[in-house]
Amino acid sequence: MTVSPVTQTVVAELVPEEKQGAIVPVKTKPLIKDYRKSQPGLEYDPLAIAEEYKSQPFLVFKRIFAVLFPVVFFTFGVWWDNRRGVVVKNDSRRASQLRELLTKLGPAYIKIGQALSTRPDLVPPVYLEELTKLQDQLPAFPNEIAYQFIEEELGARPEEIYSELSNQPIAAASLGQVYRGRLKSTGEEVAVKVQRPDLRETITIDLYILRGLAAWAKNKLKRVRSDLVGILDELGSRIFDEMDYIHEGENAERFFGLYGHFKDVYVPKIYWEYTNRRVLTMEWINGVKLTQTEAIKAQGTDARYLIEVGVQCSLRQLLEHGFFHADPHPGNLLVTPDGKLAYLDFGMMSEIQPLQRYGLIEAIVHVVNRDFEGLANDYVKLDFLSSDVDLTPIVPAFANVFANVEGASVSDFNIKSITDDLSELMYEYPFKVPPYYALIIRSLLTLEGIAINIDPSFKVLAEAYPYVSKRLLTDPAPELRTSLRDLLFRDGSFRWNRLENLLKNARGNDEYDLNLVLNQATEFLTSERGELIRNNLVDEIVKALEAFGRSTIYNFTSLLRDRVGLTSLNDSSIISAEQQKTLDHIKRILSILRETRGFDPATFIPQSVQLLVNPGVQRLGQQIAGRLAQKALTKLIRDLLTEEEIKQVIRS
């Protein structure tokens, strides 16, 4: 994790008398997969770790006691304070003790504290202030060890590589500490991240103990259906990735390639010549934490806007590319002087597979549109429910959980609220939490906590749904095309209100392109893949044209009554309430399209001409014309038969 100082830092010159002009060997970027395989212990292997500690029971019990005793002592102290009438939630002494306890227990527990430090809806302000220090204000390890690691990893002494290096670490976090320096070769200002000593040993024993507890709970507690061991292994794998700075450098470059072009997002450069497993040299970022609203305001930047940037970038990470930052706490999100959101610390990253991404998009759409039957099926696709589970009782349970989700503010109805309610459902129904989900929810909860801190009225779904709507309308993936069909059609009827809602929300997304939507819709509807939607849509277009025709005739006859005084005109042209509702939806949709960015009447006519000469569109038009002719002929025959029946009745 890299942060810039709030106050001025004293920087020491490191130019030795005897080694001026020394040439530092230039390292090339390593091939990470080959490198990690060649270094035993760098990849998370729970079976190897288990073998290692099975033969050391005394060490394991010693660690259990070292964790258990201070936790029980602290818990007893809190209980005793409550008995004495002390308001524990306002007790700064206890808050400081909690921070010190987590720090003493080690990196795994520090990360728990870091996660809590972003949740003002869960943690009292006094504790929040203390836990925030776990992000970058942990006790540092001695400079001598850090300099030794630099020399061992980079093959040269620090003063041969850096012309300047801060006397003390600028920041110290759970896995390493950061120095501010300047490269001797180029004069560029850099952040030098050095890993803590004995890190692997501290992490692995805690993972071994927790994994054993998870396996015991899975086997002994029948109500625990989730793969707790798998979830822990996922977290363990990510922590091991975080301990390898070469892997972190690879992640940073991949993150830059995917999201570095995003408006007002900044990703620092990695200096591979001065990076290895335990030392990372990256571009120095001047800035303040995203939660320091007053400092951000003082530099003329809107913190809420940058939260929106963070949410939109997270949506691309989770739902578009699947490669996401799993640890976006305030220490890893800086606001630069020019108003950009800088991402730091790429050690803990994770990936979501395409089918899972599509499933999440479908779930958001079904929540917003109150389609809880569809949502239940989404949970089957996402591996929360097995395919043989009876969804009948689960659908109304979802309706209760998500009853007021749309429009709810983060402070009233947020991801944490949904997660809590779903947790209750998971005990009552046969849900299981897939391993990949743990880091997704951690990332979202952390980002949401920052949003609450900046603006309690921030609406997560209101920010997310325009992007989701855009994806549904423009993404050619078969899974999303099927989801769009299911959203717009139900029991053979077209739901114009859903299309209206999609278009209205999609226009709020900066990347929404109306021309692209029209072109992709045309291509899809005229292809074999769009046959089912095309047939249903033809019926709806015919109904709409018929309603429009009836409405036009009715308006014309009404005008004749008013102006000419004709009273013999019948009311057969009056449209039904349902037809009028459809026409109202179409009018609003046309209004939305006219107000959408990219709509230009000057280019619309040439585009319409191009569409008309499209063979697929011509076939679609013929299909509509044929259906209209069929309806007109049917009506004519019906009217003639009805007229003949009336004449027979009169004759008789």
Q: What is the pLDDT of residues 122-131, one digit of tens each?
A: 678 788 788 8
Write down the pLDDT at residue 410.
35
Strands (E), 441-527: 489-490, 493-494
How would residue 1 be classed by pLDDT, with cut points 50, 70 and 90?
A: very low
The per-residue pLDDT for range 315-357, each reduced to its tens digit, is 899 999 999 998 887 888 999 999 999 999 998 888 999 988 9
* Dihedral over alpha carbons 612, 613, 619, 622 (to 10 degrees): 50
Q: Which two tokens stand for residue 565?
A: 């005084």
What's the mean pLDDT when you consider all of the chain?
A: 76
Mean pLDDT (whole number) for 535-543:
60
The residue among 284, 275, 285 whose CA lies nearest residue 187 is 284
Residue in 378, 387, 620, 370 with CA at minimum distance from that of residue 483: 378
Around Cβ 342, how many Cβ atoms within 10 Å? 21
- Choose between 24 and 102: higher pLDDT: 102
419 HSE (CA, 13 A, CB side): 13
Residue 20 has pLDDT above 50, yes or no: no
What is the DSSP secondary-structure string of 184-246? TTT--EEEEEEEPTTHHHHHHHHHHHHHHHHHHHHHH-TT--S-HHHHHHHHHHHHHHHT-HH
Residue 311 has pLDDT above 50, yes or no: yes
- With tokens 């053979």, the residue in question is 492
In terms of residues, how long is the chain? Answer: 652
Confidence of residue 155 (pLDDT cuts 50, 70, 90): very high
**Sorting pLDDT into bands at 50, 70 and 90, what band is 398?**
confident
What pLDDT is stored for residue 453 in this prediction? 81
In this structure, which amino acid lies at residue 221?
A: L
pLDDT of residue 532 exceeding 80: no
Distance of alpha carbon 635 from alpha carbon 641, whole angstroms: 10
CA-CA distance, 116 to 103, in Å (whole number)?
14
| 159-213 pLDDT per residue, tens | 999 999 999 999 888 889 999 999 999 999 999 999 999 888 888 999 899 888 8
DSSP string, 577-634: HHHHHHHHHHHHHHHHHHHSTT--HHHHHHHHHHHHT-HHHHHHHHHHHHHHHHHHHH
Mean pLDDT score, 530-545: 59
Residue 284: name the closest of 159, 195, 179 by CA.
179
Q: Return the closest-CA partner of residue 596 out of 521, 485, 510.
A: 510
Residues that are catalytic: 327
Question: Residue ranges per domain, the chain?
Answer: 519-651
